[in-house]
């Protein structure tokens, strides 16, 4: 039974088994992001993409990229590289937007509120 599973997964050494485990964990994280997005949308009763979605995306993407590099799969490497870039960019855009919103709300606060905030 175990030998059949190892053959199906193309595992012929403990190192290969470890990397397949890493790859499966990365895929689990990557798939988990959709569960996070779905639950968040259901709770909000509208379609939303929470920050956790992007963190799951980048975590799963980086792990899968490492796995793809180990496996020397150029198609998988290119696909995950592009994804990691996009996930990182989205996180940076969201953080920048949040920072601007904080600065705007701070600038719009009455002078007494600004002096008490620091």
DSSP 19-73: HHHHHHHHHHHHHHHHHHHHHHHHHHTS----HHHHHHHHHHHHHHHHHHHHHT-
Residue 115's pLDDT band, with cuts at 50, 70 and 90, is: low
User: Is 50 inside any structural domain?
Assistant: yes
**Mean pLDDT, residues 22-48 taken together:** 93
Residue with tokens 């798939």: 31
pLDDT band at 117 (very low <50, low <70, confident <90, very high): low
Domain for residue 115, yes or no? no
What pTM did the predictor assign? 0.74
Judge whether 89 lies within some domain.
yes
Q: Could you tell me the residue range of the domain that residue 76 belongs to?
A: 2-108
Q: Is residue 118, in this structure, part of any structural domain at all?
A: no
In a 10 Å sphere around its CB, with 0-12 CB exposed, 13-18 middle and 19+ buried, how is residue 64 labelled?
A: buried
pLDDT at 105 (0 to 100): 87
> Mean of the pLDDT values across residues 58-76?
94
Is residue 45 in a domain? yes
Residue 114 has pLDDT above 70, yes or no: no
31 within some domain: yes
Domain assignment present for 113: no
The pLDDT-based confidence of 66 (bands split at 50, 70, 90) is very high
Percentage of residues in the chain having pLDDT higher than 70:
93
Domain count, the chain: 1
| Within-domain flag for 117 | no
Residue 104 has pLDDT above 60, yes or no: yes
């Amino acid at each position: 039974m175990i030998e059949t599973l190892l053959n199906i997964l193309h595992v012929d050494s403990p190192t290969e088994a470890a990397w397949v485990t890493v790859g499966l964990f990365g895929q689990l994280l990557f798939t988990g992001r959709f569960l996070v997005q779905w639950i968040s949308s259901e709770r909000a009763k509208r379609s939303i993409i929470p920050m956790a979605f992007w963190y799951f995306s980048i975590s799963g993407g980086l792990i899968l990229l490492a796995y793809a590099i180990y496996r020397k799969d150029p198609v998988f490497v290119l696909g995950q590289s592009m994804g990691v870039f996009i996930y990182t960019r989205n996180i940076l855009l969201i953080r920048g937007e949040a920072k601007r919103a904080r600065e705007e709300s701070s600038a719009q606060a009455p002078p007494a509120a600004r002096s008490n905030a620091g």
